[in-house]
Structure 1
Amino acid sequence: MPPAQETPVAQTDQQPRKPRGGRNLPAAIGVGVGLGAVIVASLFVVKVFFLLVVVAAVGVGVWELTSRLAERKEVRVPLVPLIAGSVAMVATGYWAGAQWAAAVLALTGLVVMVWRMGTPPENYLRDITAGIFTAFYVPFLATFVALLLAADDGPWRILLFLVVTICSDTGAYAVGYKFGRNKLAPTISPGKTREGLAGGVGLSMIAGALLMEYVIDGGSWWQGLILGGCAAVTATLGDLAESMIKRDLGIKDMGTLLPGHGGIMDRLDSLLPTAPVVWLLLAAFVGS
């Protein structure tokens, strides 16, 4: 008598739907809440404490990016002048303004070029190009966060900047997860959809309108709509840009420091390019 055959179990009915990207959702939420608490506590107690948080995040971000470049592409970026330049850029932006921060960026590039001369000339151009790119991409863009903080109402400007960027990510995820059908950039980030982008832009515009009207002195709701829409676009472009970098490097995350999130750079990807846009629009709308 042939053995009784087992009835196959439909795995799709038994398995819960995995979070997009395979993330550990509880860990991601816990880390996100913890980071939010640190940011709010430092931001509204003493502004300089938040500046230290920015410097620490930039330093770790530079280390993550240069480490991945060395591991995956054998690009040897001089780390010491980059870290020193990063601290100087953010601090100078806060205490002296954008022009001095730009001067520090130029000096950092020069020091990277000279520092690299201490090793054999093979791949010199490749290494210093990566170093100058890193100096611009991480600390210089982060300097605009320090410029936002330096205003009299700096903590509220930072809050606006963070909220519209987070709303862009949250709205894009929620709408894309539920209604996403049309891929936005399938060769770069297959999970992103046009519907998600619309959701991110919409939620960011709403948040921007509310915060500009009720939190920023002299701000108006229509200014918040413009700011929120621009922030959502730059946040998405920043996310796509880092996805391009990670695909070129053949990695999923820049690091493992933050459970459920990846590395620091995986959290800064949408914030970095959004900071100068928010700073510029706030300066145009209500002054710097």
Structure 2
Amino acid sequence: MTRDPHRPEPLGSGRQPARSRAGIADGPGGKGEGAAARQDPDTGPLVRIDQPPVPPRPAVAPRGARPGPVAGPETNELRRDDEGADAVPLMPGGPAVEARDREAGHEEAPADAPLTAVPDALGAEVTGEPPQDTPSGAPRAVGRAGRDMAAAVGVGLALGAVVFATLLLWRPSFLAVVTAAVLISVVELSGALEKGGHRPPRTPVLVGAVVMAALAWTRGPSGLVIAFLLTVFAVLLWRLGDGPVGYLRDASAAVFVALYVPLLAGFAVLLLAPDDGAARVLTFIGTVVCSDVGGFAAGVLFGKHPLARTVSPKKSWEGLAGSVAACVLIGTLLITLVFDGPWWGGVLFGVAIAVTATLGDLGESLIKRDLGIKDMGDLLPGHGGLMDRMDSLLPSAAVAWLILSMVAPV
């Protein structure tokens, strides 16, 4: 059988000589050495009798016809695009993926294998667990307010009873309550910052908090400012003992804690200091409570337009309007009836408290979202930590002291 020399050989025709330990069978360049060989009547080359013929090389598909790599770690376990761009991806963990992995010899990971947490766009962590009201997850559905309302109301009434009892029975006892609340809040806020990678030294801030409350009670505004400056100086010196790494980060965090909690709480002590201090503190706290209640009621009933969607999605402009209305009403009544002040002073007081209480709430929500936490603590059922109840009170205390000093001077 004579082969046309101009005719191309078929792909995989097997014209390469078969190789074995004994050498190369007869073919181009072969000597026919080793075991006996026979002629293949179809293709022509000699192959060894005791060895199977060399399998033909598979034809290589053109580059453009190869399936697109749409599977792998970077594609979230999608299958190869053997059916084109419109192929439906396999769901991770589905039966098709499990069958594919068994065929490929992949071992299934144990059910309790640790999951790697990766941060999301808002600083939360995706751990594979159902989100517990994290910045990027849905809040726990307890009610439209997002709280355990029975526990929240009970804790709120208990706190109110403590405030009323200490204010009406003996004013210095309220100073002790404020100091204890400040110390707990400092611990909660410092712990939350530690979860975010900060290491604020607590000892100088805790000592400074006690000194700020004491000097605000005995020396007034100047004593409060001096105690705060001494606390800042103590923080800077204290942190030197831990070396230079992270010094600015940790010292700044501690100064922030000292400013945010004990310094602002010191204005509540300044409200308490005059002879009518109990009335001033009750006016301040009562107006803040009305801001929360009015904002909550208006937000639940009429809230449609988010106030700060990325910070606190539940707050609405309608809720802010309800806060302002409630604060203006109660502020005007208290300023005119209790302190015999001008009506416009009550309006100013109410608007200012509504704004600062809302900003304080938003500010703490922003901090918690940045740190990727839900609450500052878990001391108060239905509320979270004590710091979660101080958020609207702290900035409002400074504004209340300033406005009451103008419209109802001592």
What TM-score do the two structures reach when normalised by structure 2? 0.65
Q: Give the structure 1 partner of residue 167 of structure 2.
A: 43
Picking from 32, 36, 39, the partner of 2:156 is 32
Matched with 1:150 is 273
Residues 142, 148 of structure 2: 8 Å contact kept: no
Question: Which string of whole-angstrom CA distances, capped at 9 and with x for unpartnered residues, describes residues 92-140 of structure 1?
Answer: 1111011111111111011001111111221000000001111000000
Residue of structure 1 in register with 2:177 after alignment: 53
Q: Aligned partners of 1:40, 1:97: CA distance in 2, in Å?
A: 23
Aligned residue number for residue 118 of structure 1: 241
Q: CA RMSD in A?
A: 1.1
- Once residues 196 and 55 of structure 1 are traced to their aligned partners in structure 2, the CA distance between those partners, rounded to angstroms, is 32
Match of 2:40 in 1: none
Q: Where do 1:128-147 residues align within 5 Å? A: 128-147=251-270
Task: State the SS of the aligned residue for 2:384.
Answer: coil
Q: 1:176 aligns with which of 282, 295, 299?
A: 299
Give 1:21 deviation, angstroms: 4.8
Superposed, 1:180-259 pairs within 5 Å as 180-216=303-339, 218-259=340-381
Contact in 2 for aligned 1:20/1:191 (Cα 8 Å): no
Deviation at 1:147, TM superposition (A): 0.3
In the TM superposition, residue 62 of structure 1 has moved relative to its aligned partner by 0.3
User: Which amino acid is the alignment partner of residue 40 of structure 1?
Assistant: F
Tell me which moved more, 59-68 or 112-121: 112-121
| Larger radius of gyration between Structure 1 and Structure 2 | 2
How much does 1:214 deviate?
1.6
Q: Which amino acid aligns with 2:391?
A: D
More displaced 10-residue stretch of structure 1: 227-236 or 207-216: 207-216
Partner Cα distance (1:259, 1:197) in 2: 26
Tell me what 1:94 maps to.
217
Listed as ranges, the matches of 1:66-77 within 5 Å are 66-70=190-194, 72-77=195-200
Cα deviation 1:228-247 (Å, max 9, x = unaligned)? 11100000001000000000
Q: Which runs of 4+ in 1 moved over 6 A?
A: none
TM-score, with length taken from structure 1: 0.92
| Letter matched to residue 276 of structure 1 | A
Which structure has greater helix proportion? 1
1:82 aligns with 2:205: yes
How much does 1:213 deviate?
A: 1.6
CA deviation after TM superposition for structure 1 residue 221, in Å: 2.9
Partner SS state of residue 20, structure 1: coil
1:193-247 per-residue CA deviation (whole Å, 9 max, x = no partner) reads 000000000001100011112222x323331111011100000001000000000
Which shows bigger deviation, 98-107 or 55-64? Answer: 98-107
Task: Check conservation: 1:185, 1:193, Cα contact below 8 A.
Answer: yes
Matches of 2:152 and 2:319, distance apart in 1: 20
Structure 1 segments unaligned to the other structure (5+ residues): 1-16
* Cα distance in 2 between the residues matched to 1:171 and 1:19: 18
The answer to which structure, 1 or 2, has the higher relative contact order (CA under 8 A, 6+ apart) is 1
Mapped pair 1:262 → 2:384 = yes
Higher mean displacement: 19-28 or 133-142: 19-28
Structure-2 change in CA distance of 1:95 and 1:20 (3 Å) = farther
Secondary structure, in 3 states, of the residue corresponding to 1:132? helix
Partner of 2:144: 20
Once residues 323 and 344 of structure 2 are traced to their aligned partners in structure 1, the CA distance between those partners, rounded to angstroms, is 18
Q: Which amino acid aligns with 2:208?
A: G
Give unmatched runs, 5+ long, in structure 2.
1-140
Post-superposition Cα deviations, 1:25-48, rounded to whole Å, max 9, x if no partner, equal 000000000000000000111100
Q: Percent identity?
A: 50
Q: Tell me how many residue pairs correspond in the alignment.
A: 270
- The corresponding residue for 2:61 is none
